[in-house]
Amino acid sequence: MSTDLHPFDRAVTLTVTGVPNQYQGQASSDYWNMVGPYGGITAASLLQAVQQHPQCLGDPLSITVNYSAAVGAGALVIDANPVRTNRSTQHWILTVQQPDADGQMQVVTTATAVTAVRRDTWSASDVPMPAVKPAADLERVPPLFKGSEWLSRYEMRFADGILPMDEDAAERDSLTRLWVRDNPPRPLDFASLAAVSDIFFPRAWLRRAKRVPAGTVSMTVYFHAGREDLAAAGDDFLLAQARGQEFRNGFFDQTAQLWSQSGQILATSHQIVYFKE
């Protein structure tokens, strides 16, 4: 694989296997988290499989990724099956498989996706972009802890809600707002928008200032932008906002929104996360 490619493009490169609807990729060390690839890059790879499928209709509308097991190092296989195609929408079922210790293929991630042909219609937003300091007025934050290489793949400038360094278990607001873009900068596309929708630290870490074990169980990203909107966003910063909603019995959920510099909302997301005491 060419070393001239952006790290993101290397991470989501897929090749056909010869089996219908099947692609092979590689778990990326560039986007490694503590025990496997960062969840956002897995979502991006799944979306990449949909988009490069010869039967793909339109552009991504949504993707739901269920992280049933940690993706390990090495090769992975993605099956992307278009199970229903209507006049303007197309529905997909996807899996990620890897061999276990005995060489038997096991499903480690499942997903569903919807693509659509968008139409010009009346449009409005009930989620205006919040007023924060511009990215140029905020300090670039280095990776906040070791062992997660994916943090080096993003430039982050926090306006509110940076991760507390002192684990005092004091309760506080779970809201985070930050400017973020790929490092090095890269023009935005649907796959990278899916990945950046997962750049937030677990809300439980912020809500209680305590870094308990936590991991995403399921994440859905809704794409409100078309190709022209992504082209207009270019490789500039996006404003990303996330907040937890309910923390209970070992799980919490969070909502997130991402806006372009022009104030247009590009994507929203919702995920459910497990945590331990």
Q: Which domains does the chain have, with CATH numbers?
A: 7-116 (2.40.160.210), 141-275 (2.40.160.210)
For 59-94, write each residue's pLDDT tens digit: 999 999 999 999 999 999 999 999 999 999 999 999
DSSP code of residue 141: B
Query: Locate tokens 């992975």: which residue?
Result: 76
In this structure, what are the phi and psi dihedrals at residue 45, rounded to the nearest 5 degrees? Answer: -65, -40
**Cis ω on the peptide bond leading into residue 184 (within 30° of 0)?**
yes
Q: Give the C-alpha separation, 186 to 265, whole Å.
A: 19
Q: Which pLDDT does position 92 carry in this prediction?
A: 98
Give percent above pLDDT 70 in the chain: 99
Q: Which pLDDT does position 233 carry in this prediction?
A: 97
Q: Which pLDDT does position 1 carry in this prediction?
A: 52
Q: What number of H helices and E strands is found in the chain?
A: 5, 12
Q: Which pLDDT does position 266 carry in this prediction?
A: 98
Helix, coil or strand: residue 184: coil
63, 111 Cβ separation under 8 angstroms: yes
Q: Give the C-alpha separation, 118 to 58, whole Å.
A: 8
Q: Which pLDDT does position 2 carry in this prediction?
A: 55
Q: Give the C-alpha separation, 272 to 40, whole Å.
A: 14
Lowest mean pLDDT among 96-100, 110-114, 118-122, 141-145: 141-145
CB count within 10 Å of CB 159 equals 20
Query: Structure pTM?
Result: 0.96
Q: Which pLDDT does position 33 carry in this prediction?
A: 93
For 177-227, write each residue's pLDDT tens digit: 999 999 999 999 999 999 999 999 999 999 999 999 999 999 999 999 999
Average pLDDT over residues 252-277: 97
Q: Which pLDDT does position 35 carry in this prediction?
A: 86
Query: Tell me, what amino acid is at 196?
Result: V
pLDDT confidence bin for 20, thresholds 50/70/90: very high
Average pLDDT over residues 130-146: 93
In this structure, what are the phi and psi dihedrals at residue 228, rounded to the nearest 5 degrees? Answer: -65, -40
95, 79 Cβ separation under 8 angstroms: yes
Average pLDDT over residues 162-178: 89
Asked if the model's pLDDT at residue 164 lies above 90, the reply is no
